[in-house]
Amino acid sequence: MLKSKNQFFVKEILNWFFVAKRDLPWRRTNDPYHIWVSEIMLQQTQVDRVQNFYYDRFLEKFPTVQSLAEASWEEIMEVWRGLGYYRR
């Protein structure tokens, strides 16, 4: 009985998602680095803020994890500033 209730719930949630989901850039990639960047940004700020400005700008400046690793703290903060993390 519990299994069928869980299956029903999963089916309903997935049906809702396929109807209501938003087209977000990190859903159009399989690149783990790009997905990771979006996850970090989305932890404490709004989706619209990340989607409309910070995500693309950050990935233009640091397109790979290697480019991020080689950047200075100041370079990273210049692009990151405005998300609110540096104040929290």
Q: Out of 12, 39, 70, 78, which one is annotated catalytic?
A: 39
Q: Give the Cα separation of 47 and 5 in Å (integer).
A: 31
Alpha helices in 1-88 (DSSP H): 2-20, 32-42, 47-49, 55-61, 65-70, 73-80
Does the active-site annotation cover 39? yes
- Enumerate the active-site residues: 39
